[in-house]
Structures are given as C-alpha cells and as structure tokens.
C-alpha cells in the first residue's frame, strides 16, 4: 500500500493520519515539537494544568455531521463526557452583569429587561441567533467532491441562515453594534472576538453555542490531542516527534522526499502538509503558492489574523464566579504600547483535576493583532526584556483583577505567561495566530483547494485552508486530504 507522510502533528495532521490508516495507507506523522496536538494542547505547572486551547469545540452535537468526524478520530464518542455550560460568557460593568445564555429565550428576556430601548434590535438579534443554530461545518466531503446533490443537501440544512448571511457578511461587527443604544449590550456582542470580524462571524459563534454544538469535551485540549494520538497509534500509525521538516526534493512535478533538519530524508508516495501554511510554502518553495494564499499573505488589511496574550494564575481558593468566561472593563493595561481596557478571565473549575483541591487555575486572555506579534518578536531578541515585559504585564493584570474582585486579594500567583510569539517559536505559527484568517466584512467565505500547485502528490491540510480556522476546520481538513488522495488514485 502507498505510504503517506504527514508533516505536522496538530489536529489536522492527526486526523489525516487516522483517516489514512483507516483507508489502509501506511502513514508516518513528523512533528517538530516534542508532543503532538499543535495548538490544541495543555501542560502542567506547579501542580496546576494549563489548558491552552479549547473554549468551545464545534461539533459536540450528535445531530451535526462534524460530530461523526470527531467520533472517527476518537476525540468524542462513547464514554467521553461533554460539558455544556448554561452560559457562554458574562460581561460585567459597574456592578451590572449580562450573559450569553445557552437558552436563547433566556438571553432575549434578560437583554429586553436590561435594555428596553433596544427591544426591536434585541428581538432581531435573537431571531438571527436561532437561525444560526442551524449552521453546519461541511464535513462529509471536500467541496469539489460534494456534487450537485451534496451541495443541495448542505444548502437545505443551512437554509434559515442564508438570508442573514447574505445581508450581514459585508457588515463589520463594529458597524452592526451601532444599532444598539445600550453600551453594555454592544460590549456583549463585540468584546469576545476581534473587532475586525464581520457580523456573521459573531452570529455563527454564538449560534453554535446556543445549538449545543459548541461545548467542551471533558479533559480539555490535551484530552482531545491525547485521544487522537492514541487512536492513530492503535491503528498502526507512526509518530516521530522533534522532527522539523525543512525542505523537499522534487522530480517532474512530484515530491520524492522530505528533508528533516537532522538530515533524515523521508520518502513517501503522498505528502500532506498539516503544518502552518506559511511554513508549508517555506518548505516547498514560494513558486508553489497559489492565488488563495498569495492574496492573503500580501494583504493583511483584508485578511488579518489575531492572537492573544495569555496569563495563567493559580488561585488559593475556588473562583466559582469565574467558571465561564467573564469580560470586564479595567484601567487600561499597556501591552508593548497597545492599550487594552478589557480582560477576559475564566476559571477551569469544571475540570476538577486541573487544580489541587480547594484551588483554581485562571486563564486571562487579551487579544493581540499582527502588529502586537511583531513587537513581541522584536522584543524576544533581548530575552531578559521579553521576560520582564511578560512579568510586568502579568502583575498589572493581577492588580486589575483585585480591583474587580476584592475577595480574591492576595490569592493569585502567576504560573504561566504565553505571548503571540510563543506559538511562533514552538509551532512555527504565522504571526502567532490562533485561528486562521479572520472573516472580515471585506472577505468572502472561500476554501482552499487542499492541493499544492505544481506538485501532484502534495496536499495541504490545517486550519489555514478553511478560514476562519479553529478545531472543526482543522479536523475536517485532515479528513479531506485523505479523500483527495483517494480520488487522485482512482483517476
Ligand atoms: C489560545 C488558543 C485558544 C484557542 N481556542 C479555540 C477554541 O476555543 N475553539 C477552537 O475551535 N479553536 C481554538 N483555537 C484554535 C485551534 O487550537 C486551532 O485552530 C487548531 O488546533 C489548529 O490545528 P492545526 O492542526 O490546523 O494546526 P496546528 O495546531 O498549528 O498544528 C500544526 C503542527 O505542525 C507542526 N509543525 C510546524 N512546522 C513544522 C515542520 N516544519 N515540521 C514538522 N512539524 C511542523 C507544529 O509544531 C504543530 O504541531 C485556539 C487556539 C489557541 C492558541
């Protein structure tokens, strides 16, 4: 049987490997880091667990087609508990609270009582959320294999969304919120994602949560990655870690081998690049970059990315009021010259093993853009200054938390700080981005062909091929790569 070489052992690479083995291919995954999982990972510090990734995983509802993919790769399924919170987030301001409840009727009722002046817009917003709960991540086949009937089936499923998608795709979220007079309602809609998202991006995210299709598998990010790793190994796949692929050799429009930084030459019949797409084109050469990526990498105004500055704190007591994401306004924090007045904080108390008994681990996230990434990258050249900046900002954050939650005074310690540059350094992630290109009001929803032009046995998977990325797009892109190989072999 043919041998598939997968470059990158994130969620996309693991999914590609699992489907490759299920189809009977020999398969080896080469991963530059010491463990697989990519951005979907977690690690332990001082007796606490740091969960890097999952706040919501699209595909937790068995009614949606992507659920089957998560089941196939072992991330979801029998015996894996799904944690479904009753609210997605809370916005706190001046002692007042607003929530994004999972129950849309409860959300509507709360918003109407809080901001009667916006009742018409609130009703319309909630009506749109109900429609967006029908949204699906197409997961059965890659776009070019769906055929007329497949496309029609998909369109039928998302029919309620279509009128709103057509209308609001080109509306920036910053414009949309101006329809609301109440500032706190505006913040509830705006604060979680970067403000460059279009309105559809926000509706899609909240709609997914309301439908029960965006919950949390027990065990968090590392649990997802570990189960997928085990699945791949149990199917007879091979994982090689601490292996950075740097080059390829090609002959007559085909890759003959991939070269590892330690000098190993890896031969195979098919090569799936499931590493960051920017890294992919560094490996195969820019001459193989197609229009889809060329336009994205050359126009970051139209196709921006985002990341975040994350601080993890241990808390000497339970911080139950922070179990879901809470966003609060604070005295601005200076992050390398950028001023930030909103803190997103959450505790992982729903995962009792993440902290010692009676204690909590807290995650604080502050959004960062590409300019912030550049600043972190530059600062890292002077490591002592980079480390000092991380510590200073973490201390500022603790001070703002104490102001907001006086009951926590004296109970917090910094256990980890992750900058946008951390992702680039560890995983090679372009601009430290933690999803893919943002869907702005200027962009259409486009998907990549999954192929590398000029190299007939090379395929590309990963979140970058299906903007705006995230776990669901990563996992299906791995599956699609195998479906493309099978299709090519049948030609
Ligand atoms: C802080 C944070 C929070 C997030 N929250 C969510 C969330 O709540 N919900 C959600 O859906 N998504 C979330 N995401 C996004 C999600 O983690 C990613 O979309 C997903 O994990 C991407 O998977 P991937 O396989 O496409 O890429 P990656 O995870 O980037 O995997 C690529 C892999 O390739 C490896 N690699 C790179 N270069 C090479 C090379 N040259 N040779 C060999 N290997 C190489 C890397 O080390 C990495 O392991 C979050 C991400 C972050 C960082």
User: Ligand 1 atom closest to Cα of 244?
Assistant: 42
| Pocket flag, ligand 1, residue 244 (CB < 6 Å) | yes
CA atoms within 13 Å, Cβ hemisphere of 127: 8
Q: Using most ligand atoms within 8 A of CB, pick from 39, 345, 365, 419 the residue to mutate for ligand 1.
A: 39
Residue with CA closest to ligand 1 atom 49: 38
- Look at residue 445 in the predicted model and tell me its pLDDT: 82
User: Ligand 1 atom closest to Cα of 33?
Assistant: 47
Q: What secondary structure does DSSP assign to 170-219, as a single string?
A: TSBHHHHGGG---HHHHHHHHSSS-TTSBHHHHHHHHHHHHTT-EEEETT
| Pocket flag, ligand 1, residue 165 (CB < 6 Å) | no
Q: Using most ligand atoms within 8 A of CB, pick from 6, 10, 223, 418 the residue to mutate for ligand 1.
A: 10
- In the structure encoding, which two tokens stand for residue 449, read together? 């062909």
Cβ within 8 Å of residue 318, ≥6 positions away: 347, 349, 358, 359, 360
Alpha-carbon gap, residue 121 to 111, rounded angstroms: 10
Residue written as token pair 């496309």 = 151
Q: Distance, CA 469 to ligand 1 centroid (Å)? A: 9
Task: Identify the CA nearest to 254 among candidates 448, 459, 464, 26.
Answer: 459
Alpha-carbon gap, residue 54 to 42, rounded angstroms: 10
- Look at residue 191 in the predicted model and tell me its pLDDT: 86
CB 269 within 8 A of CB 482: no
b/e per residue 189-223 (b: at least 16 CB within 10 A)? bbbbbbebbbbbbbbbbbbbbbbbbbbbbebbbbb
Q: Distance, CA 335 to ligand 1 centroid (Å)? A: 24
Residue ranges of the chain assigned to CATH 3.50.50.60: 3-38+62-78+219-301+446-490
- CATH fold group of domain 3-38+62-78+219-301+446-490: FAD/NAD(P)-binding domain (3.50.50)
Alpha-carbon gap, residue 57 to 349, rounded angstroms: 18
Pairing of strands 238-240, 26-30: parallel
Alpha-carbon gap, residue 116 to 234, rounded angstroms: 57
Q: What are the φ and ψ backbone dihedral angles of 10, each rounded to 5 degrees?
A: -80, -165
Local mean pLDDT, 10-residue blocks, the chain (491 residues): 97 98 98 98 97 95 96 95 95 95 97 98 97 94 95 92 94 96 96 91 94 96 98 98 98 98 98 97 98 96 96 94 90 96 95 96 96 97 98 98 95 98 96 94 92 98 96 98 97 87
- Look at residue 186 in the predicted model and tell me its pLDDT: 97
Residue written as token pair 């807290």 = 362
| Integer-rounded Cα radius of gyration of the chain | 22
Residue with CA closest to ligand 1 atom 16: 470
CB 389 within 8 A of CB 383: no
Cβ within 8 Å of residue 327, ≥6 positions away: 89, 90, 91, 92, 187, 191, 192, 342, 343, 344, 345
Q: Distance, CA 444 to ligand 1 centroid (Å)? A: 23
């Amino acid at each position: 049987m043919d041998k598939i070489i997968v470059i990158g052992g994130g969620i996309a690479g693991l999914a590609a490997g699992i489907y490759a083995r299920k189809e009977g291919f020999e398969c080896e995954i080469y991963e530059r880091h010491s463990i697989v999982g990519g951005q979907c990972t977690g690690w332990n510090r001082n007796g606490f667990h740091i969960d890097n990734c999952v706040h919501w995983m699209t595909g937790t509802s068995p009614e949606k087609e992507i659920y089957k993919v998560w089941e196939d790769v072992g991330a979801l399924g029998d015996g894996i508990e799904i944690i479904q919170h009753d609210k997605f987030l809370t916005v706190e301001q001046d002692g007042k609270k607003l929530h994004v409840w999972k129950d849309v009727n409860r959300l509507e009722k709360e918003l109407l009582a809080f901001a009667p002046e916006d009742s018409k817009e609130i009703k319309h917003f909630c009506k749109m959320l109900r429609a967006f709960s029908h949204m699906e991540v197409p997961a059965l086949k890659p776009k070019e294999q769906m055929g007329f009937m497949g496309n029609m089936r998909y369109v039928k499923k998302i029919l309620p969304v279509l009128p709103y998608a057509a209308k609001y795709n080109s509306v920036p979220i910053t414009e949309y919120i101006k329809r609301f007079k109440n500032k706190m309602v505006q913040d509830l809609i705006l604060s979680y994602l970067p403000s460059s998202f279009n309105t559809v991006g926000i509706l899609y995210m909240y709609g997914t949560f309301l439908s029960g299709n965006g919950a949390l598998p027990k065990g968090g990010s590392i649990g997802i990655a570990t189960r997928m790793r085990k699945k791949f190994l149990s199917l007879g796949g091979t994982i090689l870690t601490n292996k950075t692929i740097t080059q390829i050799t090609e002959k007559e429009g085909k890759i003959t081998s991939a070269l590892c930084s330690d000098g190993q030459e890896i031969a195979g019949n098919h090569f799936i690049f499931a590493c960051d797409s920017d890294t992919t084109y560094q490996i195969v050469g820019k001459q193989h970059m197609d229009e889809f990526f060329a336009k994205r990498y050359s126009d970051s105004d139209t196709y921006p990315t985002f990341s975040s500055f994350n601080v993890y704190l241990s808390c000497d007591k339970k911080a139950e009021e922070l179990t879901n994401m809470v966003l609060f306004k604070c005295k601005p924090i200076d992050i390398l010259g950028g001023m930030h007045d909103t803190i997103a904080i959450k505790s992982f108390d729903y995962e009792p093993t993440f902290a010692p008994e009676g204690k909590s681990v807290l995650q604080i996230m502050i959004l960062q853009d590409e300019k912030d990434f550049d600043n972190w990258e530059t600062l890292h050249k002077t490591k002592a200054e980079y480390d000092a900046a991380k510590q200073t900002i973490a201390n500022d954050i603790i001070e703002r938390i104490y102001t907001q939650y006086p009951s926590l005074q004296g109970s917090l310690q910094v256990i980890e700080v992750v900058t946008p540059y951390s992702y680039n350094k560890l995983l090679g992630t372009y601009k430290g981005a933690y999803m893919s290109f943002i869907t702005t009001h200027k962009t259409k929803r486009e998907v990549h062909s999954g192929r590398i032009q000029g190299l007939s046995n090379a395929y590309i998977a990963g979140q970058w091929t299906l903007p705006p990325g995230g776990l669901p797009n990563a996992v299906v892109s791995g599956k699609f790569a195998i479906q493309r190989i099978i299709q090519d072999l049948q030609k």
